[in-house]
Amino acid sequence: MSSWRIARIVAAKDLRIEVHSRVLTNQVLPFAGVTMVIFAFALDADSVLERVAPGLIWLATMFSLLVLVQRSFAIETDDGALDAMRVAGLDPRAIYLGKAMALAVELLVLEVVLLFTAIILYRQTIPLNGVVLLVTTLLTATCGLAAVGTLYGGLASGFKGRETLLPLLTLPAVAPVLIGATRAVESALGTAGAVVSDGWSWVGLLAVFAVTFGVGGSLAFGPLIDE
Amino acid sequence: MDNLPPTPDRSNADTVVELHDAVAVLGQFPALAGASVTVRRGEIVLLRGPNGAGKTTLLRLCAGLVPLVRGSGHILGLNLATQRDSVRQNVGLLGHQNGLYFDLTVGENIEFWGSTVGATEAEINAAMERLGVAERLSDLSVRKLSAGQKRRTALACLVVRRAQLWLLDEPHAGLDAVARDELDVTLREAAASGATIIVASHELERAGSLSTRAVDVVAGQIHGGQL
Amino acid sequence: MTTIDKAPTVQRRSAGTGTPATRILGIITIVSMVWLVAFGLGFSPADRDQEEAVRIMYVHVPTIWIAYLAFVVTAVASGLYLFGRKKSLGWDRLAGASAEIGTTFVAMTLVVGALWGRLTWGVFWQWDARLTTTALLFVTYVGYLAVRRLGGSHEQRARRSAVIGLLAVLLLPLVHWSVRLWRSLHQEATVLDTDGDIDMDGLMLFSLFVGVVAFTLFYIWLVLHRTRVMAMEDMMEDHGLDEALAARRREAATLNGEEN
């Protein structure tokens, strides 16, 4: 049985659980939406909000990432399923890729919803020439976030204090994604005079990040979840 | 009714488990303080002992979950110090947790495990039939099952994974008398078809009817472990 | 029968972690520090623009240099632990000690740098490329140190930390790249560059060199002592394991005796 097939089986299992339990739709999306609303309370000017909207989208994504990762591994630790997968000798790289893929799908859904929320709440518009850049940014940034989140989520899942260890490890690690994705979205949306062509160098950075952590993560996951 | 399992053929029996002075730790505590035991194929071995004696750690060691700190160990001919990954693929552990996904149905849980080893639909159905979780129960979410039904579902996952060594930690706990008897029948059938089973249990009355042999685990060591 | 080694016993003549070698090293370090004080505070000239405040540079630059050196050592030691033929725990202790010292020095760099910024330009902090990456560097290794404290056996700690140590090294170029690119969008970086427009004459360069040498010696001295302390801590834990094993076996024997 190839590891790739096992990864797809694991990803399908995670997504099937999401379909059954609806945690993303019933809890995480509302959480993200509320975050977008309270940003407006803190940053009290329309002009400010419009200017920083791309950053707020990605900030809300970062916080929701932490919640999604906790959930992704809560299902594994609730009844010892991750242990069971380890006992069964499933290739840890396959487990990692599978969970990362499922996490990426959930993140993409989240980001699209946040984008539309920003359009409504922060008066953003998407110019036609920015669509390709926007979509590419979402895809590459998501891959990087899913790679980092799954890796550190797996490490933290085995320990008490996991709720605080996860943000400590994850947020500095995704700083490049936050920087790059925000700048790229600013270019795509034309925020503060940014042009679409500027955004592509950021996408390059996001892609390198995703590949680096995707490969590094799949190698590191096994040793990190092992005893 | 014939209560005794078939006598294993000693003339060409494989040694499934062989430990010499094994030491395993939980944090800094030496849960196993020099345990030695030999188990042959087809045996059902009962581990007796008080709480804290090290039964759970012994099972987890044999499953390849916990590293061997000192001493030597071989499972199915594989070295526990160097070949833990390979050990895991052939061994099934049912610990205090069942390793199930609460948000999936019984059928989906068993199908997940079956698909990771490439089991056919027929094999999956056979496993479910054997454990009595087909039909009525198979579409029920695991959350709605009784303790005994969850335990049987977990065993079905073991069966469908074609594990050669079954390690069961207090499998009778939380089951009523009928469920316990059914469990014993299942275990005897599994041993008859070639699986080797090690059961940790407080159920001393079952020693005679279920197992071929009983060993005592006391303060991290084993008495009666050698044949 | 394959047995797994017990922790190696380290023989020391004294009860502490000092040896003749480290004492000599310590003395040389102190001498270098004296030189640094002499050159930094005395012989080197004041800067045209910053006047005496420039002397902070002789401490500030070495501390960040040490930090980078320390983290490189951590990464190399982590790699040697993971991929070495014999998984010697000494590499893990070196990685951990170096990271601790490195993190402390990054913190010092940030604090001293903030004071220097306040003195010369009136602000404690600015979001330029260098400061931002330094701050992220600090937080990243705080995370590494947190992972080291997660517990478990020495081998578990070593493997986990080594993986995280190597991941940090993977992460840092990406952080550096993203922050540099980000700050290049904002052209005012060079204006507030604390040491960008210092005219370095020969004596100042020499003083800086003395500072780097002094702090490097200091780092080596610290690492030697810290790794030895860690070895002793590990030995104590192992000794604890031996004692716990003995106690458990006594318990088993007693219970056996009671049953018989």
pLDDT digits (tens, 9 = 90+) for A91-118: 999 999 999 999 999 999 999 999 999 9
Region C218-245: mean pLDDT is 88
Burial class from Cβ neighbours inside 10 Å (0-12, 13-18, 19+) for residue C209 reads: middle
- Nearest chain B Cα distance for residue C243, angstroms: 10
Question: For position C10, what pLDDT does the model report?
Answer: 55
Question: For position C195, what pLDDT does the model report?
Answer: 52
Tell me which of B53-57, C68-72, C237-241 is least confident.
Answer: C237-241
Q: Is residue C178's pLDDT more than 80?
A: yes
From the list B66, B87, B116, the residue facing A9 with the nearest CB is B116
Question: For position C36, what pLDDT does the model report?
Answer: 84
Say yes or no: ipTM exceeds 0.90.
Answer: no
Question: For position B1, what pLDDT does the model report?
Answer: 38
* Chain C: residue whose CA lies nearest to A210: C174
Q: What are the tens digits of pLDDT across the range B134-167?
A: 778 888 899 998 888 888 899 889 888 888 899 9
For residues B126 and A168, what is the distance between their CA atoms, to the nearest angstrom? 47
Which has the closest alpha carbon to B201: B191, B187, B193, A98?
B187
Which has the closest alpha carbon to A62: A162, A152, A178?
A178
List phi, psi (to 5°) of A2: -75, 150
Residue C117 pLDDT class (50, 70, 90 cuts): confident
Question: For position B12, what pLDDT does the model report?
Answer: 38
For residues C135 and C143, what is the distance between their CA atoms, to the nearest angstrom? 13
For residues B169 and B92, what is the distance between their CA atoms, to the nearest angstrom? 11
Region A31-39: mean pLDDT is 93
Q: Is residue A217's pLDDT more than 90?
A: yes
Which has the closest alpha carbon to C54: C253, C237, C204?
C204
Q: Is residue A209's pLDDT more than 90?
A: yes
- Nearest chain A Cα distance for residue B182, angstroms: 23
**What residues in C contact A175, CB-CB < 8 Å?**
136, 175, 178
Burial class from Cβ neighbours inside 10 Å (0-12, 13-18, 19+) for residue A77 reads: middle
Amino acid residing at A86: R
**What residues in A contact B93, CB-CB < 8 Å?**
83-84, 87
CATH code that applies to domain B14-223: 3.40.50.300
For residues C105 and C92, what is the distance between their CA atoms, to the nearest angstrom? 20
Tell me which of A56-70, A83-97, B206-220 is least confident.
Answer: B206-220
Question: For position B201, what pLDDT does the model report?
Answer: 83
Residue C190 or C72, more confident = C72
Hey, which of A99-103, B1-5, B72-76 has the most confident mean pLDDT?
A: A99-103
Are β-strands B15-26 and B29-40 bridged in parallel, bridged antiparallel, or unpaired? antiparallel
Q: Is residue A141's pLDDT more than 90?
A: yes
First to last CA, chain C: 31
**What residues in A contact C160, CB-CB < 8 Å?**
155, 223-224
| C174 CB within 8 Å of a chain A CB | yes
Residue B205 pLDDT class (50, 70, 90 cuts): low
Would residue A22 be called left, alpha or beta, if left means φ above 0 and alpha means ψ between -120 and 50 degrees? left
Q: Is residue C248's pLDDT more than 70?
A: yes
Cα–Cα separations (whole angstroms), residue B38 to B45, B74, B223, C251, C253 = 10, 10, 11, 23, 21
Beta carbons of C163 and A220 less than 8 Å apart: yes
**What residues in B contact C240, CB-CB < 8 Å?**
28
Average pLDDT, chain B: 83
Whether residue B14 contacts residue B40, with contact meaning beta carbons closer than 8 Å, is answered with yes
| A179 CB within 8 Å of a chain C CB | yes
Region A21-30: mean pLDDT is 93
Question: For position A159, what pLDDT does the model report?
Answer: 83
Question: For position A184, what pLDDT does the model report?
Answer: 94
Secondary element (H or E) of residue B93: strand B91-94
Residue A157 or B9, more confident = A157
Question: For position C48, what pLDDT does the model report?
Answer: 67
Average pLDDT, chain A: 92
pTM, to two decimals: 0.86
From the list A16, A84, A86, the residue facing B108 with the nearest CB is A16
Q: What dihedral angle (degrees, nearest 10) is formed by the CA atoms of B179, B180, B182, B187? A: 140
- Nearest chain C Cα distance for residue B193, angstroms: 32
Q: Is residue C189's pLDDT more than 50?
A: no
Residue B52 or B200, more confident = B200
Residue B95 or A139, more confident = A139
Question: For position B158, what pLDDT does the model report?
Answer: 87
Question: For position B6, what pLDDT does the model report?
Answer: 40
Q: Which C residues 133-172 touch A at CB under 8 Å?
A: 136, 139-140, 142-143, 146-147, 150-152, 156, 159-160, 163-164, 166-167, 170-171
Region C151-155: mean pLDDT is 80
Strands across the sheet containing B91-94: B91-94, B165-169, B196-200, B44-48, B213-218, B221-223
For residues C231 and C225, what is the distance between their CA atoms, to the nearest angstrom? 10
Domain map (residue ranges) of chain B: 14-223
Angle at B45 between CA B44 and CA B51, to 5 degrees: 135
Question: For position A56, what pLDDT does the model report?
Answer: 94
| C191 CB within 8 Å of a chain A CB | no
| C77 CB within 8 Å of a chain A CB | no
Q: Is residue B8's pLDDT more than 80?
A: no
Q: Which A residues 67-96 touch B at CB under 8 Å?
A: 75, 78-81, 83-84, 86-90
Residue B88 or C188, more confident = B88
**What residues in A contact C171, CB-CB < 8 Å?**
172-173, 176
Beta carbons of B65 and A86 less than 8 Å apart: yes
Tell me which of A120-134, B101-115, C240-254 is least confident.
Answer: C240-254
Question: For position C4, what pLDDT does the model report?
Answer: 42
Question: For position C16, what pLDDT does the model report?
Answer: 73
Q: Is residue B119's pLDDT more than 90?
A: no
Q: Is residue C21's pLDDT more than 90?
A: no
Region C29-54: mean pLDDT is 78
Residue A192 pLDDT class (50, 70, 90 cuts): confident
Q: Is residue C71's pLDDT more than 70?
A: yes
- Nearest chain C Cα distance for residue B154, angstroms: 29
Mutate which: B61, B68, B84, B221, vs C, most C CBs within 10 A = B221
